[in-house]
A = this chain, B = another copy of it.
């Protein structure tokens, strides 16, 4: 099954949309592979729409011993303004996502968003490279059609444990990206090999900007390569969240800011940050 991540005709609005708590309705809920599920929601009239890299804060339904108290942050995987829908690609890891996995088409689902700061594209249609692993792919998904729609060449390097767990390959190709996959099983996901791939892309003039998500190992690699060639770069980070809007300060991560270490909030100063400043 192919799930396009962004409708080609979408350009990003100037100002970030104002977040809203809305009661969405489950349209489609399917297993993408053994580990990941895709959830598509119908939004109420007038609901704001997200930009690539933004997330929603989901109120997963309790019951049967699963009582998630906090909302759960999820990146938008598919953005469909004209159909007034939003889609998430997620992995069941604990209480909240397990509760979420019980949703049926037609069920109501309380979501709050869109939240956070999304990806920014480099100047002048410069070619970009996406580097992602695990749920990181979900976060990077919509960046492909977004970049293509804005005239950037896109190469995506997707990493996973095994070939059958690499996601979004067809989706990203369909969206116009050149896709390379590396896996632990094939022994191609090790840092030296990936570094080689990146260097080749840089040499071929296909990597003016680097976007990474889903692994601190890959983040550190991307930081090295970007520094070496002075490339624009961004990293999407994760941290546990309570408020999701910047007031509780639970979601901080450390960054390097002219010499000293500072804390930034993933929910509102991110989740997308300048690649060079993250302490991965």
Question: B-contacting residues of A (Cβ < 8 Å)?
Answer: 61-63
Question: Inside 8 A of A62's CB, which chain B residues have their CB?
Answer: 62-63
> Measured between alpha carbons, how far is A62 from B61 in the docked complex, in Å?
12
List 4 contacting pairs A-B, 8 Å CB cutoff, sorted by A: A61-B63, A62-B62, A62-B63, A63-B63
| Copies of this chain, tallied across the complex | 2
Question: Which B-chain residue is minimally distant from A65 (CB atoms)?
Answer: B62
> Measured between alpha carbons, how far is A62 from B63 in the docked complex, in Å?
6
Closest 4 CB pairs of A and B: A63-B63, A62-B63, A62-B62, A61-B63
Question: Inside 8 A of A61's CB, which chain B residues have their CB?
Answer: 63
> Measured between alpha carbons, how far is A61 from B62 in the docked complex, in Å?
12
Give, as a whole number of angstroms, the nearest-CB distance from A62 to chain B. 7
Give, as a whole number of angstroms, the nearest-CB distance from A128 to chain B. 45
> Measured between alpha carbons, how far is A63 from B63 in the docked complex, in Å?
5
Question: Inside 8 A of A63's CB, which chain B residues have their CB?
Answer: 61-63
> Measured between alpha carbons, how far is A61 from B61 in the docked complex, in Å?
14
Give, as a whole number of angstroms, the nearest-CB distance from A60 to chain B. 13
Give, as a whole number of angstroms, the nearest-CB distance from A66 to chain B. 10
Question: Which B-chain residue is minimally distant from A63 (CB atoms)?
Answer: B63
Give, as a whole number of angstroms, the nearest-CB distance from A215 to chain B. 38
Give, as a whole number of angstroms, the nearest-CB distance from A87 to chain B. 25
> Measured between alpha carbons, how far is A63 from B102 in the docked complex, in Å?
13
> Measured between alpha carbons, how far is A8 from B154 in the docked complex, in Å?
80
> Measured between alpha carbons, how far is A117 from B89 in the docked complex, in Å?
56
